[in-house]
Amino acid sequence: MISLTSPVKTRAHGWPAGAKLAGLCAATLILFSFTALWFQLAMLAATLILYALPGWQFFKTGMVRLRILWPFMALILIWHVATNDLENGAVIALRMVCAVAIANLVTMTTKLSQMVDVVTWLTTPLRRIGLQTRSLELGIALVIRFIPVLVEKGQMLAQSWRARSAKRLGWRTIIPFAVLALDDAEHVAEALRARGGL
């Protein structure tokens, strides 16, 4: 999941988070159950229609969030062209795009608090046998919240590099990106400690 809740309100915003997550699981299972290229193309078309139904702004926001997948798609296709297995590579790339796009739809139409409520409900059996699940619930919430934040900071770092250097963006940005991530983690840890920790 690579997006936060969309500001554009849709009908899906009112659907139960548990139902949407169950639908996401079912859609992912269906995607991985079929290997035909035509089926993956049909699933991609259906996913694009789902993005387009709420309007142009929602569609545009969703597509921008999915740009991060292009380098992975390129690597998959290049490798399968080199191994003379382009059709299988196309199936894998389309499957990846559809799975992430559907997951992105769920997060765009579901509040973080609703996601946490679902996780809390799912971990109820663990609490009944005496296990503490608060750390797990908080960890999942932080992952959902910070993936898009880190993606945005990575994009800003890349723009800064291009503005200051004619060289191609390379491994040199890994260290400053890691420092940014650690800095965010430290701020979150301090905020948690200030509120009593776990």
Domains of the chain, by residue range, sit at 1-110, 114-198
pTM comes to: 0.72
Q: Which of the given ranges, 94-103, 117-126, 129-138, has the highest pLDDT on average? A: 94-103
Give yes or no for residue 3 having a pLDDT over 70. Answer: no
pLDDT band at 30 (very low <50, low <70, confident <90, very high): very high
Q: Is the dihedral of CA 177, 181, 187, 190 positive or negative?
A: negative
d(CA 75, CA 79): 6
Which pLDDT value is given to residue 96?
93
CA distance 164 to 47: 38
**13, pLDDT greater than 50:** yes
**pLDDT (tens digit per residue) in 137-175:** 777 778 777 777 777 888 888 888 888 877 777 777 788
Residue 74: band (very low, low, confident or very high) from pLDDT cuts 50, 70, 90 = confident
Q: What is the pLDDT of residue 2?
A: 46
Tell me if 89 sits within 8 A of 77, measured CB to CB.
Answer: yes
